[in-house]
Amino acid sequence: MRCKACGAENVESAEFCSLCLASFRPAAGPSASAQAQVEATPFGPRSSERVVSNDLGTNADDRTTDAVPVGDGAPPSTGLSRSTLVVMAGTAMAVLLLLGGLLAWRSYTTSPGYSLGQLAVAVERNDWDGVQKYVDLDSLIGQIIDVAVSKTIETDTSGFGALAAGLAQSMKPTLIQQAKDSWRKSVESGSSSSGGTSGNFRPVFAAKRVKSVTRIGDEALVTVEVPSSGTTYDVRLRMKRVDNFWRVTSIENLSDLPFMQDLGKGQ
């Protein structure tokens, strides 16, 4: 047997070269089929091969070697588009404006000024029930009688002033009812020329210009401007809240009103 390494002659049964000691045994290596399989799949196991689990119980194929960067400064996604957010913001703003408008309207419709406006509407429509709703007629007419009696006593020179005042107080309920009947005729007829003070109060109740409002709890002082023969005069109305509206209960400057200067014509 000739040695392929040094060319020396050796016996056929020799396992090593007698000169260079080279081994005559065939070298161990992969079979031809295994070599072909490896060359066919150089980048990993084929899809038909079973993947062996690693020591953590996770398939090797499930692990990602290329990590995705996190926290690069981009805001987290909300899942809503920009147009949807704009619509939601617009809707919220509309709801807030609507609520604000409703609250403002509610505040206005429960104000003294609004009640006086409704009183003026009732006078224009000759609505006696509406006038009674917004004016405490018993209280106001009672005040008018008291002012008349006071003026009578102040100007009396006959000595019967005190007697007349006492008689007027005893007859006050009857006088109030008579005055209410007179005022009702004035309102329902739409006339401001009725006798006594009934017709004179019609423009006061129909006044639409409110100059000032001072509220303290459930009471208010409201100044209105009343037109009269090309001029105007102010009337200061005392009002009181009743449920969700206001009623005129008295007139603070009653004795100073032009038509109250001469009380001899009655109420």
pLDDT tens over the chain, length 267 residues: 788 888 888 888 888 887 788 887 776 555 555 554 545 444 444 444 444 444 444 454 544 445 445 555 555 555 678 888 888 888 888 888 877 776 776 667 889 999 999 999 999 999 999 999 999 999 999 999 888 888 777 766 666 666 667 777 788 899 899 989 988 988 898 876 555 555 678 888 888 899 999 999 999 999 999 988 889 999 999 999 998 999 999 999 998 888 777 654 443
Q: What is the pLDDT of residue 84?
A: 84
Task: Report the C-alpha gap between 245 and 112 in whole angstroms.
Answer: 7
What spatial distance separates the first Cα and last Cα of the chain, rounded to whole Å?
159
Q: What is the pLDDT of residue 85?
A: 82
Task: Report the C-alpha gap between 229 and 231 in whole angstroms.
Answer: 6
Task: Report the C-alpha gap between 228 and 206 in whole angstroms.
Answer: 12
Q: What is the pLDDT of residue 72?
A: 53
Q: Which two tokens stand for residue 244?
A: 């969700």
- Structure-token match 């006593």, residue found: 153
Q: What is the pLDDT of residue 64?
A: 47
Q: What is the pLDDT of residue 30?
A: 54
